[in-house]
Amino acid sequence: MTYLPCVEIEPEQAANASVIWLHGLGANGHDFAGVVPMIALPNEQQVRYVFPHAPEINVTINNGYRMPAWYDILAMTLERKIDMPGLMTSVEQVQSLIQREIDRGIDSRRIIVAGFSQGGAVAYQSALTFTKPLAGLLVMSSYFATAKTIELDKNNRALPIHIYHGSADPVVAESLGLDAMKYLAAFGFQPQYHRYLAEHTVTAQQINDISQHIKQFLSIKSAS
């Protein structure tokens, strides 16, 4: 099977957990690789970090300019008119990466999905519809693009979710992050929302919080 190309960072010992982290529009898998040294985890948590590269496509809101993107964005509105077939294709590719981690010997309950901005929209759909229980979902500066159409999988109906958003985000308004939290709560989840005095970015404080949440996910979801 052909997988998305990825930047992969292996732990010092054999991996017993994985984080699959999706970048935003116009970036690539290297975008968040630099945060790994900042996520200090206990020795028993040997995490493989997987940072996929989105394919290059023509993006309508950027005058058709070709760039890395998980799907086309057709209009820059609060409703975020998007290319749903393109998004679902990316979801299939990300879920293939999750399954590859399982095939490599990682318990699905020790796999975390994370995403920033456009990658966060793919992360929501990928994690919440995956057919095996996952450890957690981390979504940064993003929106729940498929909230009105998603068919949740029973195995992830209790998935721990953390949402991170800048209060001064000019690209993805904070209201969209808050809307995602409301949708999730209506589905029965108990998402945790974290607000930062920041724009469309990931701050040092946010990375510190993410580090703590990864520790929590992996301490609860012990390997079988």
| Catalytic site positions | 117, 169, 200
In whole angstroms, give the CA distance from residue 224 to residue 220: 12
Contact 197, 166 (CB under 8 A): yes
The count of C-alpha atoms lying within 13 angstroms of the C-alpha of 193, restricted to the half-sphere facing its C-beta, is 19
In whole angstroms, give the CA distance from residue 29 to residue 54: 8
Beta strands in 76-198 (DSSP E): 81-82, 111-116, 136-140, 161-166, 192-196
In whole angstroms, give the CA distance from residue 6 to residue 97: 10
Q: Do the strands 111-116 and 136-140 form a parallel or antiparallel pair, or are they unpaired?
A: parallel
* DSSP single-letter state for residue 221: S
